[in-house]
Structure 1
Amino acid sequence: MSIQNLLRFLKPFIEPVHIKKYSGKRVGIDAYSWLHKGAYSCSMELCLNSRTVAAKRHLKYFMHHINLLRHYSVIPVVVFDGCSIPCKSATEHERHSSGEGKATLCWQRRSSRKGMSVLLSNSSK
């Protein structure tokens, strides 16, 4: 889980650089962050449990970024979230419940492509 407002706090210290600056170095990648960003391109297909190529666009997005790092000789170290942490159980339960509710609404509104898109675009918030 993310640290609330971390990027806002760090923004004054962030300096854009070209990725080749990190050539030969290892960088940590938050796998779920990239997978969730990629899921925006195929959220409807994922919600409907589609087995089409379109439903795998989040994986293509993820691998594109991994390959971009490798192209510049940057070594990606992909990190997936670990076990549940007891102190975060309330937040995890709330997110899970919200996600299940939105998935149910999505399924009920599957005939309305626009309604589903609006619902899914807000699903990770």
Structure 2
Amino acid sequence: MQAHLGDFLAIAFYLVVGVVFAVIPILLSHLIVPRSTGRHRDQTYESGMETIGSAWIQFTAAYYIYALIFLAFDVDVLYLFPVTLAYGQYAIRDFVEVVLFVGILSLAIVYAWRKGVFEWKTKE
């Protein structure tokens, strides 16, 4: 019973430390950041340049599909690093698996390309 209590205390400690590390920067930024007032407060700011048109524009669905494809490939590439470090006595088999994985990912890119996801159509 004491061993389980120690495990729960360790988990509670990490939970408290995680919450503290998340809350402290938010509180510090709330205390330190200067407050702005005036007529320019609600204007859109983009790299110090004056905005052209409304900030409320609608993006096409292709923009979101492009973003999801990027996110999926970004995460998938992260899985390649541990696989390359875990090569063992079956290096040939592991290499073939990685090539198949990258090949399937490449097919997804080709499919998106054929569907026109990477072509940006602008409105006049």
TM-score by length of 1: 0.29
State the structure with more CA Rg. 2
Q: Which has the higher contact order (CA 8 A, sep 6+)?
A: 1
Higher strand share: 1
